[in-house]
Amino acid sequence: MSTTTAYLGARIFTGEDWVEGMALLTGGGKIHGFVNPENLSPDAARVDASDTLIVPGFIDLQVNGGGGVMLNDEQSVEGIRTICAAHARFGTTALLPTLITDTPEITEAALRAGIEAKEANIPGFLGLHLEGPHLSLARKGAHDPKLIRPMEARDLARLLDAASHFQVLMTTVAPENATAEQVGALAEAGLLVSLGHTDSGYDTVGRYAAAGARAVTHLFNAMSQLGNREPGVVGAALNDGRLSAGLIADGFHVHPASMRAALSAKRGPGRVFLVTDAMSIIGTELTRFTLNGRTIYRENGKLTLEDGTLAGADIDMLASIRFLNERLGLPIEEALRMASVYPADAARVSDRKGSLKAGMDADFVQLTPGLDMVATFIGGVRV
């Protein structure tokens, strides 16, 4: 039985540049590299990928749900499996199921489910993102204000205990309800600390970046804005190279002009990367669902509470890439990097995910030249 598979005839984007006329060689769940088809071993299995594009698998660091499941409602291995499978249909090969602000009991249940999902090797499961509950009431967005609270010693201990069990454990906090010392302890333990749902000023964000925060959650949304005398969280996210920032590219959360300005202004090495902030309706025909007992309505590509407050997004990662390419005119290579290379860098997994190079995980997406889905592969297995 062959241990290697060769994908022939595709135009391949590695995450840096295009490879033409070569076969992509995989085996054992890894990328083996590229080879001239004439030099292929006769033992290699051959897959005809003619007239398609092969690109790095998409990485989504903020996914509240999919396939009819919200992590807030179902903290289980099967719930996580359903969410991952729903997003794999749209090219996402690694994601962080995200728990929106909830009770300590639900948070603990989500952490246990995440540990079990890792042990079960759920395809596409990268870790967890806990968005809250230590946020700002002033910038709560769709989060239930009754559940928002300061980070206490037991909350910190819970996160520190969980850190070693995950490839990636991300948490969104606001300086209003988490101290710089707490952020420092979390960062030292290996958590990816993101600042979000906060009305903090520019200098405060800088102090928290110095303490170890490395990201900003859904840039422009639920945060202080860029002003002439107070740059706010937006200004800090764009000006501070230590910080990466997630961006929801659905046309509702952020105006295309603001997206262009942010992408032009961002100082490195931190980058702006795509997130979907997707809810349970992805991959379904559902028109409404509940979150913390409140109904969220789906209409014309937008999700809102009854009062019109945006409540997550009704978009997948491939549609986000298309939006950047078609509406912003962003080169397809850069749009693809924002869905693969940059989130891998932000999550500190770029040694194995986010690009197609020898030794990396064989996570890739096959697309038509018009950016329609053909297939998704996780660890070299078509899912």
> pLDDT tens digit string along 334-383?
999 999 999 999 999 999 999 999 999 999 999 999 999 999 999 999 99
Its pTM stands at: 0.97
**What's residue 347's pLDDT?**
98
CB 282 within 8 A of CB 319: no
**What's residue 2's pLDDT?**
57
**What's residue 134's pLDDT?**
98
pLDDT digits (tens, 9 = 90+) for 136-156: 999 999 999 999 999 999 999
**What's residue 1's pLDDT?**
44
> What is the SS3 assignment for 375?
strand
Tell me which residues of the chain have a pLDDT lower than 70.
1-2
Q: How many CB atoms lie within 10 A of CB 324?
A: 24
Domains of the chain (ranges; CATH) run: 5-55+357-382 (2.30.40.10), 58-346 (3.20.20.140)
Enter the tokens of residue 158: 């819970």
**Order of strands, edge to edge, in the sheet holding 92-100?**
58-63, 92-100, 127-131, 168-173, 192-195, 215-216, 244-248, 272-275
The single residue of 155, 250, 277, 314 carrying the catalytic annotation is 277
DSSP element (H, E) containing 105: helix 104-119
**What's residue 300's pLDDT?**
86
CB 4 within 8 A of CB 16: no
**What's residue 289's pLDDT?**
87
Please confirm, yes or no, whether 277 is among the known catalytic residues. Answer: yes
Strands (E), 142-293: 168-173, 192-195, 215-216, 244-248, 272-275, 288-291
Enter the tokens of residue 260: 């262009």
